[in-house]
Structure 1
Amino acid sequence: MSAGFADSFADPAVVRGLDGYWYSYGTSDPLLEGEGKHHRLPIARSSDLVTWTYVGDAFGEDELPPYAAPGSLLWAPDVRYLDGRYVMYFTVTNTTTTPHEWDYSIGVATAPTPTGPWTHVSAPVVPPRPSGDAYWNTIDPAQFTDVDGRKYLYFGGFFGGLWMTELTADGLRTVGQPQQVAIDNKFEGSFVVRHDGYYYLLASSANCCAGPTTGYSVLAGRATSPRGPFTDKEGRPLLASRAGGTPVLDQNGDRWIGTGHHAQLTDLAGQDWMLYHAIDRADPYLDEPFGINERPMLLDRLDWIDGWPTVRAGAGPSERSGEAPVTRGVVDDRFTGDLSGWRGGTAGWSVQEGYVRHGAGSGTLTARQGSGGDVRAETNLRLADEAAGGLRIGGARVQVSGEQLTVTAGGVRRAVALPGGAASWRNLAVTVKGPTITAQVGAADRLENPQATVRLDSPTPVSGAFGLVARGAADFDNVSLTRLAKPVTRLVPTPRPGRLLDADEFDGRGGGWQWVREDGAAKVDGGVLRWPVQGGDLSGSANAAGALLRTPPEGDYIIETKVTLDLGEDTVRNYQQAGLVAYVSDDDFARLCQVAIWNTRQVEYGRELSFAGRLSYGANIVGPPARTTWLRLVHQVDPVNGEHEFRAASSADGKTWTWGGVWTFGKDTAPRIGLVAHGGAQPAVDAEFDYVRVYRSR
């Protein structure tokens, strides 16, 4: 999506401006190959969310916050429209308040328009947070406003975990003490939305910037409060040592890897979309290899299936998609001209500079295009004291006042209270699906955080004239009416084991194994392969660990194992692990293991390969492990390019599987498959493999 103006546009944020354009904000990297200049939070604009134009930087070279040390970088912006102005939160990498070089803090600035001018607040909204002789990763802010009008800020990263703090009404300072909402060493890049009564915390996991082995992905948990506790689809807490997280976006074997650090939006038809960055595995660096990772901005459909978000129904990033957001409706007026698109009753209405105003008394402005069927309508709305305004759809009226949101249809009326006043712009969105009318009021940035929702089943058909209704002084802008998007309700199929092709049940009858650096301590005993975790490792140049391999069948297949590895919980045990491996050589492999990473326990799907004369290693995260964990690698040959694709899955019970990302091997390679148990010998622990089975996949 950023190809028209930037080779790299990482950590994208997005809002819709009051002028009807969409604005995206990126982290402070060079935009173009060979440019060599860091932009301080670059800004791009689009009318359709597909074609973007660079419009400038939020800050100039000498416009750092007053508390930032010289040379500080500004990362990961988050922009919201709060109470009549735009507020930008961002990471400041270094401050003058401590002697430490990386004492991260969260800065904040305000502006009257999406492009500025931006004015720094004199103090960080979240200052550096010390941890011994270092500082917690106080990075990657994301603001959220709840239905009661309270404002929150989510922030944090791998060192320290994810945190939430309440904000003052203006959004510029914190209230009380921050509260941890997700464990450290697993997440960063928070984004929170409220959907169907739940609060969803989505965050990125694994490494953002490992070039050709970047395995970044997006995971989710949900709660009934913005304060948590957040749990995943299987009920596993995001704060646990074996931290949960339901996959939302993973690399799928196409061009794009490292898919993450996202923002979300809703188009005019009611379809959600995810804006994120990724890495082209064939061109992972902006300039020289092993420099700045090149992370262009992408956009894909975000579906809600069985109460959980997932990109393209679980298919992952698109390489060439014909889908695009709906950004114009059959009625679509930004009020930059006259009222020629409207008929009758225009008295009392006047076009101002980019919006239409209703004066005193009551009035209706009717569009020439009527409504029928399932539709979605919306407007930005600003009300004077004691005024009310809204939308008319056939016989239904939806009105906002300073205190409540009201829906009336067929003689039935329903209303809910609205927090705060109505002096600044708000967004009113109304969907009609059959007899059901759903009205929501939220911020004018349209970031799916409704302040109030009303649903009403109309006793009469909802079709006919469409227009604006007002009582007293009311301003309207960005009015649209379009067909309602049809939601995707079924996940794409996942691979399933078919006919058993090969197996070793470790009952003394198996064979066909070949060792790389045989470990004499590995023994078959009592129906299991018991392998003491080795002190060496397979990653890096030392290549001190062993691998137990076998030749796979031709074509598509699934290899599965059940491994018991008692890594305990919470304590630091780096980096003991055991599981499956797809192996070409010591410098060309992918391993799927349950692993101890500091105090967390994760299922990591790591990849090592040689790139530009050096070794590169990165990882993708799958599901949380148990003491006994089931692991699968699903192999297929890409019919277009002949590459070997291995997709990962894990399970804590052998029945419910969590699917992760895909790593690929060249078409001229011949990966073998097998087992590993390595990463650290202290404290001593055995990996126990119950079986290895190879199935035809279906």
Structure 2
Amino acid sequence: MRRLGTLVLALSALLLPALTVTAVTSAPGQAAERSTTRPAAGTYTNPVTAGTVDTFPDPATIRGHDGRWYAYGTTNPIFSSRGETGEHVLPMLRSDDLVHWTYAGDAIDVADQPAWWPAGTRAWAPDIRFLDGQYHLTYSLSTGGIGLLTSDAPTGPWTDDGLVLTASSGCPTGVIDQAVFTDDDGSHYLYWGSYDTICVARMNADATAVTGPVTQVGHGKRMEGAYVVARDGYYYLMYSDGSCCDGAFSGYQVKVARSTSPLGPFRTPSGGVLTDLTSHDGLVVGSSGNGWDGPGHNSVVTDLAGQDWLVYHGVPEADPDFPAVTGANGALLRLTKRPLLIDRLDWIDGWPVVNAGAGPSTGPRTAPVTSHLPGTTIGSATLDRGRRLSGRPVLGDVRVEGSLTGDGAGLVVGGATAWLRDGRLVVSSGLRRSTSALPDDFDPTTPHWVVAERRGRTLCVEVSSDRLHEPLATASLDRVLPVGRVGVASSGTRVTATAVGAARLHRPVTTRVADPTVGSLLPAYSDEFDGAGRPEAADPAWRWVRGASASPTLTGGSLVWPTQAGDLYGTDNRASVLLRDAPAGDFTVETKLTFDGNRGNQQAGLVLYDTNDRYLKLSHSVLPLSHTDRLLHSTEFLKEGPRPTYSLPTPVFDGPMFGGRTAGTMWLRLRSTRDAASGTYDVRMASSTDGRTWEWGGTWTLPVVDGRSLQIGLVSMNATGATASFDHVRTYG
């Protein structure tokens, strides 16, 4: 092996550009390090902010050009457990490894909030970018509007740059939850919106103001938290929907759609358009019944091995609520705990999903790769001409990156070099080269990340300002040598470099975890509705809660049930519920529903019922689209029960999460699993528009009380004027 390595290294040296060597730290004759045998990775356990801060909602993350990671969060009582009674305004964290975090101060001091803020304002949902040599921290005003802070360093001091967008933005929604995206031509876009529309508009050249027309790109109940990444020719818009901040009733989750333009239209995996007036498929992460509720409001970071990670918040079901606190705006607030979580983000069949679809992690997991292979770290370097190489070569699939400044800066990967010069990215190996134009306003005197991934004998290179999936240029070269030293180079001008090194290239996960499967049909707990007249007469297993005021009947092989004026919501328990026993143990119940709702809040669907105030409901619901006169058809999955952990204990509370697309005829499923260890029912939802392809969604947990079993039920309620036709109820073991 040593002879082969020496021969390949000699060939590699011949192919390197002829440059005067300023510093060479390689050791002659040293064997190539196999990038496939790095030391065993460390582990982490969510939440990664445990012991540092109590909560860190809406986390925005970035790798600074100093090589460290930084996170920024919504104004919250981050040190409540230490006895603090107030909030920190846009708190900041710092980490060397994405796992161990330290508090790095607040972007704005609570006693020195900008005088121009409207009364009662709290700062929410920061977004961080590195643009034109500065860190841009945008944030939302709870009273509406988007502000901007800039700094030369990732933790400030920050300069107040006022408003990027006013509350009257031209988008029919709350002007919060913004994120900036920079395209490969250097143009900037701002995405924003909350409750229930997401909008986008072009920004000016320095990303300090919105200048273009406003385009609506998404509709969804409680849709917010847009975050865009570019990958493989698509723009992926991730967002959250459902209830974000209701303790153990938080139905928040992250979904995704993609487009070939940053202005949309964005399509979901099923092909639906994100502006369609329906709930949407495309689940990236949702609750899975393992103790984390409401996972959402994400950003994305990439570790040194090229593996993406979703950074997001989640609600600890065992301890979900703060005591009442005094907010930074002086008001008495009742808040939900939302610490920071990280999990592996896999790209499978062109779509992102957390942990291959398994959802938020609990217990020790393999940590991100945040250190370079031994002997490959350059650290800081300044070159006037020549190159500085690693002490050890690497063999095989490898990822090399560094922050480079200067026209004529190069990143060396074995026998190839990626150059930034004369407004172009040039990847060369001997006489072969591949080039790509950088944006017209590209400034080589400011730091840019250059990342090169060598897989097999293909080298792919990307240039960006901030490593946030916003490539300014990409280029690739085939037939590169699979061995060699890494480092930095200069073609004759002053070049500086930081955080240069190599890591073993990650091996992507390409297979999703399997969806739940149903067992055998249980006829005793099923009904095909083939009879006539009242359902309880045709099958005595059915019984009623509060009778059936709308006279449902069996007709043509279906249970036809006009919607009632009553509801099953909080203390308004006037709606009829058609019930039958559920089987002992785990089961899946399914119905095929045709529904013609046309008024706000009409709904029909399945219920797993304990009492009027303790149940889970999966329905086709017609919900008003906030700030408009339009209606949104939603696959709504709702939990109702007591909320004793709230600072004002509440005997009846509810929260929704939302599933996939609706249709005039659709199939609904609830999978119920009894968790003996936690004493809960874990119930997962699924829906389908064809009865064959199922979109599995999130999981609600409902405590078992006095050993009672849940009952299978149907509802058709809230407002008159619509008709629900249930083709069947089928229960599987």
Asked if TM exceeds 0.5, the reply is yes
1:23 aligns with 2:59: no
**Distance in 2 separating the partners of 1:587 and 1:544:** 12
Name the structure 1 match of 2:36: none
Q: Please tell me whether the aligned partners of residues 280 and 659 of structure 2 are also in contact (alpha carbons under 8 angstroms).
A: no
Which residue of 2 is the match for residue 177 of structure 1?
A: 213
**CA offsets 1:262-300 (integer angstroms, 9 cap, x no match):** 111100000000111111112111115992111111111
Greater Cα shift, 307-316 or 504-513: 504-513
- The SS at the match of 1:185 is strand
Residues 548-567 of structure 1 correspond to what in structure 2 (within 5 A)? 548-567=578-597
Does residue 601 of structure 1 match 2:601? no
The amino acid of 2:389's aligned partner reads: T
Matched residue SS, 1:176: coil
Residue in 1 that maps onto 2:716:
677
**Equivalent residue number for residue 491 of structure 1:** 512
Q: Offset at 1:640?
A: 3.7
Contact 1:157/1:185 (<8 A) preserved: no
- Residue 13 of structure 1, aligned match among 55, 60, 63: 60
Q: Does 1:515 align with 2:579?
A: no
Confirm or deny that 1:461 pairs with 2:474.
Answer: no
Unaligned runs of 5+ in 1: 95-103, 334-340, 343-353
Question: Residue 25 of structure 1 contacts residue 43 of structure 1 at CA under 8 Å; is this kept in 2?
Answer: yes
**Do the aligned residues in 1 keep the contact of 2:321 with 2:335 (CA within 8 Å)?**
yes
Q: CA 1:202–1:376 in structure 2 vs 1: closer, same or farther (change >3 Å)?
A: same
Aligned pair partner of 1:281 in 305, 317, 340:
317
Aligned to 1:297: 340
Alignment-derived partner of residue 266 in structure 1: 302
Question: 2:184·2:473 contact (CA, 8 Å) conserved in 1?
Answer: yes
1:337 aligns with none
**Match of 1:477, as an amino acid?**
T
In the TM superposition, what is the alpha-carbon distance from 1:514 to its structure 2 partner? 2.1
Report the counterpart of residue 371 of structure 1 in structure 2: 394
The answer as to 2:673 corresponding to 1:627 is no
Q: RMSD between aligned alpha carbons?
A: 1.8
Give a deviation string over 1:112-152, Cα, whole Å, max 9, x none: 11111111113x11111178xx9830000101000111001
Question: Is residue 375–residue 392 contact of structure 2 (8 Å, CA) maintained in 1?
Answer: no
* Structure 1 residue 204 corresponds to structure 2 residue 245: no
Match of residue 164 from structure 2: 125
Quote the offset at 1:563 in angstroms.
Answer: 0.4
Asked whether 1:433 is paired with 2:455, we answer yes
Shift of 1:525: 1.0
Label 1:536 to 1:378 Cα distance change in 2 as closer, same or farther (>3 A).
same
Corresponding position of 1:349: none
> Which of 311, 316, 319 does residue 359 from structure 2 map onto?
316
Give the letter for the 2:392 counterpart.
Q
User: Is the partner of 1:201 in helix, strand or coil?
Assistant: strand
Q: 1:187 to 1:135 in 2, by over 3 A?
A: closer
Counterpart amino acid of 1:53? T
Q: Does the 8 Å contact 1:210/1:616 carry over to 2? A: no
* Alpha-carbon distance between aligned partners in 1 of 2:372 and 2:169, rounded to the nearest angstrom: 51
Q: Is the 8 A contact 1:249 1:317 kept in 2?
A: yes
How big is each residue's C-alpha offset from its partner over 1:230-287, in whole Å with a ceiling of 9 and x where there is no partner? 0100110110112434100100001110110111110000000011111111211111
Decide which of 566, 577, 593 is 1:536's aligned counterpart.
Answer: 566
Aligned residue number for residue 137 of structure 1: 174
Structure-2 separation of matches of 1:367 and 1:55: 32
Note if contact 2:227-2:237 (Cα within 8 Å) is conserved in structure 1.
yes
CA distance in 2, matches of 1:676, 1:661: 21
Q: 2:438 aligns with which of 418, 429, 432?
A: 418
Once the two structures are TM-superposed, the CA of residue 50 in structure 1 deviates from its matched residue by 0.6
- Taking the aligned partners of 2:681 and 2:501, their CA distance within structure 1 comes to 47
Please state how far the C-alpha of 1:184 moved relative to its aligned partner.
5.4
Shift of 1:426: 0.5
Q: How does 1:86-97 map to 2 (within 5 A)?
A: 86-94=135-143
User: Deviation string for 1:507-549 (max 9, x for gaps)?
Assistant: 0264411211121411111110011111111121121112112
* Aligned positions of 1:22-171 closer than 5 A: 22-33=69-80, 34-94=83-143, 104-122=144-162, 124-129=163-168, 136-159=173-196, 161-171=197-207
Q: CA deviation at 1:467?
A: 2.0
Residue 577 of structure 2: which of 526, 531, 547 is its match?
547
Deviation for aligned residue 1:209: 1.2
2:606 paired residue number: 580
Question: Taking structure 1 as reference, are residues 622 and 243 closer, same or farther at Cα in structure 2, changes over 3 Å only?
Answer: closer
**1:593-646: per-residue Cα shift (whole Å, max 9, x none)?**
111110211101000011224211101111021011110011222364353211
> Which letter does structure 1 place at the counterpart of 2:428?
T
C-alpha distance in 1 between matches for 2:172 and 2:413:
55
1:486, distance to aligned residue in structure 2 (A): 0.8
In 2, Cα distance between the equivalents of 1:640 and 1:483? 40
Q: How far, CA to CA, are the matches of 1:669 and 1:192 in structure 2?
A: 45
Tell me if the contact between 2:397 and 2:482 (Cα under 8 Å) persists in the aligned partners. Answer: no
1:621 aligned partner, one-letter code: F
Return the alpha-carbon distance in structure 2 between the equivalents of residues 567 and 310 of structure 1.
32
Question: Structure 1 CA distance, aligned partners of 2:588 and 2:687?
Answer: 12
Structure 2 equivalent of residue 381 of structure 1: 404
Q: Distance in 1 between matches of 2:172 and 2:660?
A: 29
Q: Which residue of 2 aligns with 1:345?
A: none
Write the distance in 2 (CA, Å) between the matches of 1:514 and 1:452: 65
Moved more, 586-595 or 178-187: 178-187
- Contact 2:132/2:443 (<8 A) preserved: no
Q: In the aligned structure 2, how far is the partner of 1:262 from the partner of 1:478?
A: 25
What SS does the aligned partner of 2:591 have?
Answer: strand
Secondary structure at 2:519 match in 1: strand
**Does 1 or 2 have the higher relative contact order (CA < 8 Å, sep 6+)?**
2
Deviation readout 1:44-97 (Å, 9 max, x if unpaired) = 111111111111100112433343123311111001110100111111123xxx
**Deviation at residue 172 of structure 1 after TM alignment:** 0.4
User: 1:506 — aligned with what?
Assistant: 529
Residue 263 of structure 2 is aligned with which of 227, 250, 255? 227
Counterpart-to-counterpart distance in 1, 2:276 and 2:456: 43
Partner of 1:645: 682
Pick aligned residue for 1:214 from 219, 234, 250 = 250
Residues 392-441 of structure 1 show CA distances to partners (whole Å, capped at 9, x for unaligned) of: 22222222224111222364311111112222110011111112211101
What per-residue deviation string (whole Å, max 9, x for no partner) do you get for residues 207-242 of structure 1?
111122111001111000000000100110110112
Alignment deviations for residues 293-351 of structure 1 (CA, whole Å, 9 cap, x no partner): 11111111111000000010110001113221111111588xxxxxxx76xxxxxxxxx
Question: Could you say what secondary structure the match of 1:275 adopts?
Answer: strand
Whether contact under 8 Å (1:402, 1:418) holds in the other structure is no
Alignment check: 8 A CA contact 2:279 2:659 kept: no
- 2:375 and 2:638 map into 1 onto residues whose CA distance is 48
Task: Work out the CA distance in 1 between the residues paired with 2:309 and 2:140.
Answer: 25
How many Å apart are 1:165 and its aligned residue? 1.2
Alignment length, in residue pairs? Answer: 652
Q: State the shift of 1:200 in Å.
A: 0.5
In structure 2, distance between residues paired with 1:61 and 1:291: 19
For 1:456, the aligned partner's letter is L
1:52 aligned partner, one-letter code:
W
Amino acid at match of 1:129: S
Partners of 1:428 and 1:196 lie apart in 2 by 18
The residue number in structure 2 matching 1:101 is none
Counterpart AA for 1:462: P
Matched residue type, 2:51: G
Alpha-carbon distance between aligned partners in 2 of 1:424 and 1:327, rounded to the nearest angstrom: 24
Structure 2 residue aligned with 1:348: none
